[in-house]
Amino acid sequence: MLWTITVGCLLLAGLIFRQAYRREDGQEMAGEDAGLAILEFGRAFPDEAIREVITTANGRTVFLRLHDGKAGCMNAHGHHYSCHLIEPGTVRVNSVGPKRLTVQFANAAYEGGTFEFRDERETAEVSLWLLGSFMPGLAGADQQVVGQPS
């Protein structure tokens, strides 16, 4: 009888340890590593150059600033990412608070949602990327003032 109880306790302890280890492993694979996100986005879109990466506070979503005014979004789903290339004008962004944004994609509604960032600066950066408010081609243009006749 004592052996049965001992074996049962060991099996129960092993099951608890396995579940705890699996939960930690799942969180790591779900987006804690921005380097993995960069590699996955590079595989999905090999012609896009990444300039900057910002992850959400929980690490499950990664927003990427690309070289030509576009942005990218990657959501972690277990052991893989879903990659989404965002063209200017195909996204709607609303502020929900100082560190939170609600994002709706016109061409991929399932990718949208409310995202929380680590600080206000990151939230503002991502909102600018998504709205296409910055004009990377303008910085290298000739010194003529935009809107002035030539």
pLDDT exceeds 70 at position 23? no
Any residues with CB less than 8 A from the CB of 132 and at least 6 apart, and which?
Answer: 69, 71, 88, 89
Residue ranges and CATH numbers for the domains of the chain are 34-135 (2.30.29)
Q: What are phi and psi of 72, to 5 degrees?
A: -130, 155
Q: Quick one: CA dihedral 147, 67, 111, 108, positive or negative?
A: positive
Tokens at 50, concatenated: 């990444």
The more confident residue out of 122 and 145 is: 122
Higher confidence at residue 33 or residue 32? 33
**Per residue in 80-131, pLDDT tens?**
788 888 877 788 888 888 899 998 887 776 778 899 999 999 999 998 888 8
